[in-house]
Amino acid sequence: MGSDILQNYDAEAVKEMLQSSGYSDKAIKYYTERKGMGKLDEANQITELTGPCGDTMKVFLKIEDDKIQDAKIQVLGCPGAISSAMVAMDMAKGKTLEEAKEITEGVIFKELENIPDQKQHCIQLTVKTLQNAIEEYQKGNNHKEG
């Protein structure tokens, strides 16, 4: 049923509502396309984090030779959480772990162009989730589902 909701929604109405709330067209595109959303079966690092607002992110990284080969994320949250998570996954792919550590709140906000001020914590949660995943991997605390 959940996927039916997304398939049957009025995309134009959602876009207008997000624009009136302060989201840029670029942020809305990340939110609606959701290219980095999902589970990655071949992930060798899985990290989950819940923010103070209740939004939850679960990042899946496939890392080989200290390079992020693929990245996906599951997000239970608002448009700010989803759009910022999609940016982070897009940016992380193909980067070394050290390069991915440079994905900061400012870098994500610049890519999104604009989201409402009250959604800045979503970007913080995204960065913290990605950074925690990288740190856990580097410390050998690889969390995998199984």
Q: Is the pLDDT of residue 8 over 70?
A: no
Q: Is residue 73 part of a domain?
A: yes
**CATH code: domain of residue 82:** 3.90.1010.10
Q: Is residue 33 part of a domain?
A: yes
Q: Is the pLDDT of residue 146 over 70?
A: no
Q: Is residue 11 part of a domain?
A: no
Q: Which domain holds residue 77?
A: 23-143
Sequence-ordered alpha helix ranges (H) in 93-119: 97-100, 105-112
Q: Is residue 48 part of a domain?
A: yes
Kindly report the pTM of this predicted structure: 0.89
Stretch 11-34: mean pLDDT: 93
Q: Write the DSSP symbol of residue 44.
A: S
Q: Is residue 40 part of a domain?
A: yes
How many independent structural domains does the chain possess?
1
- Over residues 123-144, the pLDDT tens digits come to 999 999 999 999 999 998 766 6
Q: Both tokens of residue 70?
A: 């693929």
Q: Both tokens of residue 18?
A: 């997000």
Distance CA 31, CA 14 (A): 10
